[in-house]
């Protein structure tokens, strides 16, 4: 693991350093988190853990919640509340659970009746919640998006969400530094999405594993903030922990006037800009890996397979196994061609489409919609298309687009114009592909079943998706649109997104804040649910059958598909494990060839994967929960997706990295022979059933200590209260704009469309507000008043 940097520092080194509360000798870092975004899918179990342990949210003023994955994108004209609006029961429960939680913990929340609701990675920047030099986390892998601001932003699992809610810190390790430099000018029709698809094609989906990528070079500098966000968004598809771009004038211009950014030209703004301007990598800073790309080598790029690294220029043909050297990639190619229903050698532009989707946290910002609208203006979508949809990333993007008439352009062309949400990016809501349907999509993942079981996804930029919609096949936008000069949006045009929400007085579903006294005593919360991250099972030695898998880049969508993410519990997910590979999608019967359906592997306690990058992709902690519930507590592989790797430890599981090919082969041979192996964490060895050593392995000593002793790391971190408090005092002094000041400026309460609070509570709430009881107790941290109190005061004024 890389150690602290002495000489010239990179942007990542600087932001990391400024947030270290404590660094242990083994490299374990307690990192302060400035901004925590929360959504409905990965938070229920975290809030449940807090409630069971009677813990509070430490910094409600640094926490922002919204609902995005489950929300239907149909018209909200008649929206009254979630209970009536969301038809699917599990989705409804997940959305309502978030509403209960934000109310119980007094968090700021943009619900479905609020114009500011949208995909979590769109609303953070839009509100100025995301700021340069901050640490930003969310229980979502595409948190990397926010790195476009020079923030250190990364996805975390649900146990870590709980840790951040309770302590505003995270236990982490230093990542490696990687630089991707793109110089020169992009050709017309080529956009930032093509840059990132090209980069991933070059480095592979494991290329950035263990690293934070800094994107730099003249081509990146020339991009608008929104275009930079699309690039950082997909750093995770390149395997990186995060992506970053150094803040510059483009960044500062973008932030001007954002509701939660410091007020422009105020002393606070000047102080902030002075600090933000220091966030450049020093001359002579070194990187562990460097990649150089000439912008003129990038063509409009499209994916052909089931991994984001499976890309070719639109002028290319579908590759075949012979185009790859590596055996694992040859195998993956055969599998991908079969899934995608494609033949090697087919020109990409001959591939006929069924659907087109313009949306997602990668490409549903106003510039994306503008550029796509420019392509389709005055034209019609191809008659063979079953459906073409545009899903704005947030309510404010939608409003802005409508004020520019973009909705009309799309509707006239034959597109559906929808409400904000994740939509068909992952199909946790009603927008999905049917089996074998082929879709041109501006989203970021083309995994098997990603947009719907059996659905086939081709990733591309918004202008390319627009061109595809007109042609009905994969198409080259350069042959469709007239590019007089460059297609690039050089810098963000000043976009006035109207932050107004509906008149709170006239609305029936005003925010309801629970009685704070009651909350601080923790007695509003039923504490029956057993599962919480507090107190982990111990891991010392494990002896058992190991199931062999020879697949590379096994993503968490494959480990547990999206339809199983709608639970609000941690338990019972074993039957969902590898669902699409284990069960026939039509009959539901077991697929006999799949390893976990065979004896003796039905009883496997260990998984041995000989391909790299196990658990890449989404941050869903449901993946380790499903493995655990099946009975697997140890995974052995050459490398892991970073978030998955962290998530396993939080559940008392052990991921073992074996990079020595011969040792891995020895272990795999035992697994294939159906013999037991023994993983000994104390001795850090793997032995065969006879006790002969097969391999040794490394684990960070703090993690090892926690696993062996079954320690709850939230409890451990809470013992560091003094250090965290001192850090916060320094933060208030040095970077005062981070203390939720933006919230204090807001007018109008934040709405919660939760099921109404029972009448009895309402009466009590009103009484306590009027009499002033139950105000600030339990919500003060270091003299900082939290948003709960601010919201409460505003309500008092309203009354
Ligand atoms: C639901 C969430 C955990 C997931 C992620 O982490 O990425 C989702 O946003 C996705 O895109 O798969
Ligand atoms: S990748 Fe898709 S599902 Fe995940 S946050 Fe972004 S839009 Fe939502």
Place of tokens 């608008």: 224
With residue 500 as reference, give the H or E element that holds it: none
422 lines ligand 2 (CB under 6 A): yes
- DSSP, collapsed to helix, strand or coil, labels residue 59 as coil
Q: Which two tokens stand for residue 137?
A: 């986390």
352 pLDDT band, cuts 50/70/90, is: very high
Average pLDDT over residues 17-31: 95
- Using CA positions, which residue lies closest to atom 2 of ligand 1? 140
Instruction: Report d(CA 142, CA 154) in Å as an integer.
Output: 7
State the ligand closest to the CA atom of 457: 2
Q: Residue 5 has what pLDDT?
A: 75
Instruction: Report d(CA 497, CA 491) in Å as an integer.
Output: 17
Residue of 154, 360, 429, 622 with the most ligand 2 atoms within 8 Å of its CB, for mutation: 360
> What are residue 457's DSSP bridge partners?
439
State the ligand closest to the CA atom of 42: 1
CA of 617 to the centre of ligand 1 (A): 8
Average pLDDT over residues 188-199: 98
Give the tens place of pLDDT for each residue, 240-267: 999 999 999 999 999 999 999 999 999 9
Which of 682, 685, 687 has its CA nearest to residue 666?
687
486 pLDDT band, cuts 50/70/90, is: very low
Phi, psi at 749, each rounded to 5°: -70, 155
Give the tens place of pLDDT for each residue, 680-729: 999 999 999 999 999 999 999 999 999 999 988 898 999 999 999 999 99
Residue of 140, 233, 242, 432 with the most ligand 1 atoms within 8 Å of its CB, for mutation: 140
Closest ligand 1 atom to residue 428 Cα is 1
- Using CA positions, which residue lies closest to atom 6 of ligand 2? 361
CA angle 393, 399, 400 (to 5 degrees): 90
Give the tens place of pLDDT for each residue, 755-786: 333 333 333 322 222 222 222 222 322 222 22
Q: Residue 59 has what pLDDT?
A: 94
Residues contacting 274, CB < 8 A, separation 6+: none
Give the tens place of pLDDT for each residue, 285-313: 999 999 999 999 999 999 999 999 999 99
> What are residue 154's DSSP bridge partners?
137
Residue of 37, 43, 95, 141 with the most ligand 1 atoms within 8 Å of its CB, for mutation: 141
Q: Which two tokens stand for residue 180?
A: 């991707």
501 pLDDT band, cuts 50/70/90, is: very low
351 lines ligand 2 (CB under 6 A): no
Is the sign of the CA dihedral 131, 134, 138, 143 positive or negative? Answer: positive
525 pLDDT band, cuts 50/70/90, is: very low
Residue 494 has pLDDT above 90, yes or no: no
> What are residue 441's DSSP bridge partners?
357, 459
Give residue ranges with CB within 6 A of ligand 1.
41-42, 69, 140-142, 155, 426, 565, 618-620
Residue 532 has pLDDT above 50, yes or no: no
Q: Residue 482 has what pLDDT?
A: 79
Residue 796 has pLDDT above 80, yes or no: no
Give this complex's ipTM: 0.99
In 425-475, which residue ranges form alpha helices assigned H by DSSP?
462-471
69 lines ligand 2 (CB under 6 A): yes
Closest ligand 1 atom to residue 422 Cα is 9
CA of 422 to the centre of ligand 2 (A): 5
With residue 696 as reference, give the H or E element that holds it: strand 693-696
CA of 692 to the centre of ligand 2 (A): 46
Give the tens place of pLDDT for each residue, 407-465: 999 999 999 999 999 999 998 999 999 999 999 999 999 999 999 999 999 999 999 99
Place of tokens 């899934």: 339
439 lines ligand 2 (CB under 6 A): no
Percent of the chain exceeding pLDDT 70 equals 86
pTM of the model: 0.88
CA of 141 to the centre of ligand 1 (A): 6
Q: Residue 742 has what pLDDT?
A: 54
CB neighbours (10 Å) of residue 77? 6
41 lines ligand 2 (CB under 6 A): no
Average pLDDT over residues 139-166: 98
142 lines ligand 2 (CB under 6 A): yes
Q: Residue 751 has what pLDDT?
A: 43
789 vs 643: which has the higher pLDDT: 643
Q: How far from 106 is each of 60, 64, 69, 465, 516, CA to CA, in Å?
A: 7, 11, 22, 41, 9
By CB atoms closer than 10 A (0-12, 13-18, 19+), residue 343 is exposed
Give the tens place of pLDDT for each residue, 365-394: 999 999 999 999 999 999 999 999 999 999
- Using CA positions, which residue lies closest to atom 9 of ligand 1? 140
By CB atoms closer than 10 A (0-12, 13-18, 19+), residue 110 is buried
CA of 279 to the centre of ligand 2 (A): 28
Instruction: Report d(CA 647, CA 651) in Å as an integer.
Output: 7
Instruction: Report d(CA 155, CA 141) in Å as an integer.
Output: 4
Mean of pLDDT over the chain:
88
- DSSP, collapsed to helix, strand or coil, labels residue 43 as coil
43 pLDDT band, cuts 50/70/90, is: very high
Instruction: Report d(CA 743, CA 124) in Å as an integer.
Output: 13
Instruction: Report d(CA 752, CA 114) in Å as an integer.
Output: 9
Average pLDDT over residues 167-172: 97
Give the tens place of pLDDT for each residue, 85-127: 999 999 999 999 999 999 999 999 999 999 999 999 999 999 9
CA of 694 to the centre of ligand 1 (A): 36
- Using CA positions, which residue lies closest to atom 4 of ligand 1? 618
Q: Residue 1 has what pLDDT?
A: 60
Residue 45 has pLDDT above 60, yes or no: yes
Percent of the chain exceeding pLDDT 90 equals 83
Closest ligand 2 atom to residue 140 Cα is 5
Average pLDDT over residues 400-404: 98
């Amino acid at each position: 693991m890389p150690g602290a940097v002495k000489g010239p520092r990179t942007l990542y080194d600087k932001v990391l350093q400024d947030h270290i509360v404590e660094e242990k000798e083994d490299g374990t870092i307690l990192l302060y988190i400035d901004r925590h975004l929360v959504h409905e899918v990965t938070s229920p179990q975290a809030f449940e853990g807090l409630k069971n342990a009677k813990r509070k949210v430490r910094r409600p003023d640094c926490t922002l919640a919204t609902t995005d994955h489950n929300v239907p994108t149909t018209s909200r004209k008649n929206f009254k509340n979630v209970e009536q609006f969301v038809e699917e029961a599990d989705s409804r429960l997940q959305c309502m659970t978030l509403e209960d939680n934000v109310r119980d913990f007094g968090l700021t929340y943009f619900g479905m009746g609020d114009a500011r609701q949208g995909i979590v990675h769109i609303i953070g920047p839009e509100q100025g919640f995301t700021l340069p030099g901050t640490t930003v986390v969310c229980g979502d892998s595409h948190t990397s998006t926010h790195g476009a601001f020079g923030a250190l932003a990364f996805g975390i699992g649900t146990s870590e969400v709980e840790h951040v809610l309770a302590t505003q810190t995270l236990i982490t390790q230093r990542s490696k530094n990687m630089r991707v430099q793109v110089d020169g000018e992009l050709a017309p029709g080529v956009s930032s999405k093509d840059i990132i698809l090209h980069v991933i094609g070059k480095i592979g989906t494991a290329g950035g594993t263990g690293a934070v990528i800094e994107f730099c070079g003249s081509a990146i500098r020339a991009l608008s903030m929104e275009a930079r966000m699309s690039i950082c968004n997909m750093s995770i598809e390149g395997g990186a922990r995060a992506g970053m771009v150094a803040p510059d004038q483009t960044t500062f211009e973008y932030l001007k006037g954002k509701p939660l950014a410091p007020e422009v030209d105020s002393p606070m703004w000047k102080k902030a800009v002075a600090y933000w301007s220091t966030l450049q990598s020093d001359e002579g800073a070194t990187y562990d890996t460097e990649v150089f790309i000439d912008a003129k080598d990038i063509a409009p790029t499209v994916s052909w397979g089931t991994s984001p690294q499976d890309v070719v220029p639109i002028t290319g043909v579908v590759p075949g196994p012979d185009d790859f050297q590596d055996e694992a990639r040859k195998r993956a190619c055969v599998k991908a061609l079969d899934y995608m229903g494609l033949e090697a050698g087919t020109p990409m532009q001959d591939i006929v489409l069924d659907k087109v989707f313009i949306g997602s946290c990668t490409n549903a910002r106003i510039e994306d919609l503008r550029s796509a609208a420019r392509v389709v203006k005055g034209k019609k979508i191809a008659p063979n298309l079953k459906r073409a949809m545009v899903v704005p990333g947030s309510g404010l993007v939608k409003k802005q687009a409508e004020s520019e008439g973009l909705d009309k352009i799309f509707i006239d062309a034959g597109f559906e114009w929808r409400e904000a949400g994740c939509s068909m990016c992952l199909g946790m809501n009603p927008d999905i592909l049917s089996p074998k349907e082929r879709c041109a999509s501006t989203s970021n993942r083309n995994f098997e079943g990603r947009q719907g079981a059996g659905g086939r996804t081709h990733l591309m930029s918004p202008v390319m998706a627009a061109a595809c919609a007109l042609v009905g096949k994969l198409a080259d936008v350069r042959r469709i649109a007239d590019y007089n000069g460059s297609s690039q949006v050089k810098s963000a045009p000043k976009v006035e997104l109207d932050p107004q929400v509906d008149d709170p007085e006239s609305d029936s579903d005003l925010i309801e804040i629970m009685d704070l006294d009651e909350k601080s005593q923790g007695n509003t919360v039923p504490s029956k649910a057993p599962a919480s991250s507090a107190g982990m099972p111990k891991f010392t030695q494990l002896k058992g059958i190991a199931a062999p898998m020879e697949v590379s880049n096994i993503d968490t969508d494959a480990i547990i598909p999206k339809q199983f993410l709608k639970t609000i519990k941690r338990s019972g997910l074993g039957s969902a494990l590898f669902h699409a590979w284990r069960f026939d999608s039509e009959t539901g019967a077991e697929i006999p060839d799949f390893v976990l359906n065979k004896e003796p592997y039905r009883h496997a306690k260990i998984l041995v994967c000989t391909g790299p990058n196990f658990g890449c992709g989404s941050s869903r902690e449901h993946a380790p929960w499903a493995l655990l519930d099946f009975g697997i507590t140890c995974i052995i592989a050459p490398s892991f997706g970073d978030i998955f790797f962290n998530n396993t430890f939080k559940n008392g599981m052990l991921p073992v990295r074996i990079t020595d090919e011969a040792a891995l082969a020895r272990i795999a041979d035992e697994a294939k022979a159906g013999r037991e192996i023994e993983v000994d964490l104390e001795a850090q060895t793997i032995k065969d059933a006879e006790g002969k050593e097969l391999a040794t392995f490394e684990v960070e000593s703090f993690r090892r200590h926690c696993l062996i002793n079954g320690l709850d790391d939230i409890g451990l971190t809470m013992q560091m209260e003094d250090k965290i408090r001192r850090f916060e005092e320094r933060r208030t002094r040095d970077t005062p704009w981070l203390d939720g000041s933006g919230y204090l400026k807001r007018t109008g309460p934040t709405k919660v469309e939760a099921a109404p609070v029972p009448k009895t509570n309402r009466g009590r709430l009103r009484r306590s507000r009027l009499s002033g009881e139950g105000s600030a107790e339990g919500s003060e941290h270091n003299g900082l008043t939290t948003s709960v109190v601010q919201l409460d005061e505003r309500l008092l004024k309203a009354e």
